[in-house]
Structure 1
Amino acid sequence: MTIDQILNDKGREVISVGADDTLGDVAKVLDTRRIGAVVALDSDDSIIGVLSERDIVRQVARNGQAALDMKVSDAMTRDVVTVPSTMAIEVAMQLMTDRRIRHLPILRNDRLIGFVSIGDLVKWKIAETEAEAEAMKSYLSAQY
């Protein structure tokens, strides 16, 4: 199964922000939308970073309340790992584990088409495991 299938299930909406938005404004978006990260885009809609709740918390720990007036560009992760929508989910999970990242922008033809979290992938994996267990139970009960 590929990431495309997860996007088909969860939707392809990507919440994005600009480099000059403040961390305080982004924190409100994260809270309102109940999400853990946003993609930072430039004026050409190219990815320039990812800003997560952890990035904001880190800045608040270092700078106190003043962090909320800082710009996204001052706190975002700039070395963004992206993956194609055709990537296998298991490969994406391994990449996220190896790189210790929780969010992946998804590209098709070098264009942003989605954003997944480790939670999205784990949810799929749990559903897959439950379906396999149910199939095994059905098979075994039919045999005996």
Structure 2
Amino acid sequence: MTVARILASKGRDVVTMQPHNTLRDVVDALAAKHIGALIITDPQGKMQGIVSERDVVRAIAQHGADALEDPVSNYMTKNIVTATEEESVLEVVGKMSKGRFRHMPIVVNDRLVGIVSVGDAIKFRLAQMEEEQSALREYIATA
């Protein structure tokens, strides 16, 4: 099962901001959209970084509430690990586990096409396991 199937069911919308936006802008967007991370892009849409709830917590812990007025570029993760739609969900979860992060931007030809969270992967895998169980029950009942 590939990441493309997750994106097909959850959608491909990705919340983005630009490096000059403040950390407060990020916090407001995360809260309003009920998401855990967003992508930082340049005006042409090229990914510059990713910022998550963890990044916000670290910024405030290290710099206090004043950090909320700083540009998000000061706190975003710049070395972005990405995946493609063709990768398996297990491969992507493995990358997230190894990197100790919970959100993975999905790219096609270096262009952002979606984002997958650990929660998305778990939800999808649980649904798949339920389908497999149901198919087994049906097979056993008809055998």
Q: TM-score, normalised by structure 2?
A: 0.95
Identity of aligned residues (%): 38
Matches within 5 A, 1:5-24: 5-24=5-24
Q: Which amino acid aligns with 1:15?
A: V
Query: How far is 1:68 from its partner?
Result: 0.7
- Tell me if 1:27 matches 2:27: yes
- Aligned partners of 1:99 and 1:51: how far apart in 2? 15
Query: How far is 1:42 from its partner?
Result: 1.1
- Aligned partners of 2:90 and 2:58: how far apart in 1? 30
- Tell me if 1:140 matches 2:112: no
- Aligned partners of 1:107 and 1:88: how far apart in 2? 14
Q: Deviations over 1:92-113 (max 9, x none)?
A: 1111111111111111122111
User: Structure 1 runs of 4+ off > 4 angstroms?
Assistant: none
Partner residue, 2:80: 80
Q: Deviations over 1:1-24 (max 9, x none)?
A: 211111111111110011011111
Q: Deviations over 1:112-135 (max 9, x none)?
A: 111111111111011011111111
Q: How many residues align?
A: 143
3-state SS of 2:135 partner = helix
Q: TM-score, normalised by structure 1?
A: 0.95
Q: For structure 1, which runs of at least 5 residues remain unmatched after alignment?
A: none
Matches within 5 A, 1:113-128: 113-128=113-128
